[in-house]
Amino acid sequence: MTGADTAVRADRSTQRSGGRAAVALGVLVVGVVLLFGLAVATGSVVIPPGRTLSALLGVGTPDARLDLLVTDLRIPRAVTAGLAGAGLGTAGLLTQTLFRNPLAEPYVLGVSAGAGLGVALVTTVGAGAAAGAFAGGGLGGAPVAGRLGTVAAAALGAGLVLGLVLLLSRFAQSVAALLVIGVMLGSVITAVVSLLLVWTDPQTAQQYLLWGLASVDGVARAELPVLATIVGAGLLGVVLLAKPLDGLLLGDDYARTAGVDVARVRLAVLVVAAVLAGTVTAFCGPIGFLGIAVPHLARAAVGTSRHRILIPATALTGAVAGLACAVVAHPPGAGTVVPLNVVTSLVGAPVVIAVLLRSRRLGGRAW
């Protein structure tokens, strides 16, 4: 290639989508930091910015109770919210790309329902230790161990549902059929869970229903490393799948002609999505709308479907969305907590509608 050609080719990067991605990613990082601070500072007791900062930096404040509030309640809550958003967002991105459908997300596909079944089984059938732990209290037994049991059950339930969807996908003629199968499985599982609750004692049922409202408050400080490790590993798995996910953008057949082992990639994607969605659901309850809204918002932010850019953008957007929901769910000064699903539905649904309408006008689907 001659020098003149190289000069002409200087516009290569401008021909790719996502030219403004670097700026968008930078803004998202700043947003995560700011919202993390806000999530720590606000709640039933509003902490002044200076004290929040010193508490976050570990310098300590004159008020020991405030320190304890920050380290044992607010920071776990904020970290959980960020991780939940990032985990659910990327899980949603995985299923949207895999199913090539803007509605495909773990919640819709029955994965959250599967996780719920796992939790319901542990709660109603399982030992009292596990049952108490998931409610955040620990009616005897070590909370972390009990929680791990719940997490395992939820992830197993999520994996089971995705596995079933995967198994049926071998026989399903189209991706749309697969999506409907997922939705149907979700309703069957929800019905089974309802049956379990009918047969259980009212107190346990109430605990389960409380879990079903979804919350980022139930994760104790000691449990954070578990959540962070699993979600971190899941995110790493998503990053490793970036190349085959790009291959899937043009459809399964084009992916195969580009040398992508579609069956293996599909399995890997479903496993990673199940681990991410199942873990977050176990810790926080079934959170709706983050999985569907976050990838759409991320695409709108970076303007590309290329996964090498879209995956970090989705994780960051998810963290921002999760933190923002946590802030809204804990109105400053008020002692009440708004259920997380109320916030995600009220904000998430209009956002999804707006993004879909806007992208159609801009030409090209936003997914």
Site residues, another protein (CB under 8 A): 1, 5, 9, 11-12, 14-18, 171-173, 240, 242-243, 246-247, 249-251, 253-254, 256-261, 299, 303-306, 308, 359, 362-367
Q: Whole-number minimum distance, CB 302 to another protein, in Å?
A: 8
Q: Whole-number minimum distance, CB 238 to another protein, in Å?
A: 13
CB closer to another protein, 127 vs 250: 250
Q: Whole-number minimum distance, CB 258 to another protein, in Å?
A: 4
Annotate the chain with three-state secondary structure: CCHHHHHHHHHHHHHCCCCCHHHHHHHHHHHHHHHHHHHHHCCCCCCCHHHHHHHHCCCCCCCHHHHHHHHHHHHHHHHHHHHHHHHHHHHHHHHHHHHCCCCCCCCCCCHHHHHHHHHHHHHHCCCHHHHHHHCCCCCCCCHHHHHHHHHHHHHHHHHHHHHHHHHHHCCCCCHHHHHHHHHHHHHHHHHHHHHHHHHCCHHHHHHHHHHHCCCCCCCCHHHHHHHHHHHHHHHHHHHHCHHHHHHHCCCHHHHHHCCCCHHHHHHHHHHHHHHHHHHHHHHHCCCCCHHHHHHHHHHHHHCCCCHHHHHHHHHHHHHHHHHHHHHHHCCCCCCCCCCHHHHHHHHHHHHHHHHHHHHHHHCCCCC
Q: Whole-number minimum distance, CB 284 to another protein, in Å?
A: 29
CB closer to another protein, 105 vs 246: 246
CB closer to another protein, 221 vs 365: 365
CB closer to another protein, 15 vs 336: 15
Q: Whole-number minimum distance, CB 264 to another protein, in Å?
A: 10
CB closer to another protein, 214 vs 260: 260
Q: Whole-number minimum distance, CB 56 to another protein, in Å?
A: 35
Q: Whole-number minimum distance, CB 180 to another protein, in Å?
A: 15
CB closer to another protein, 65 vs 170: 170
CB closer to another protein, 18 vs 291: 18
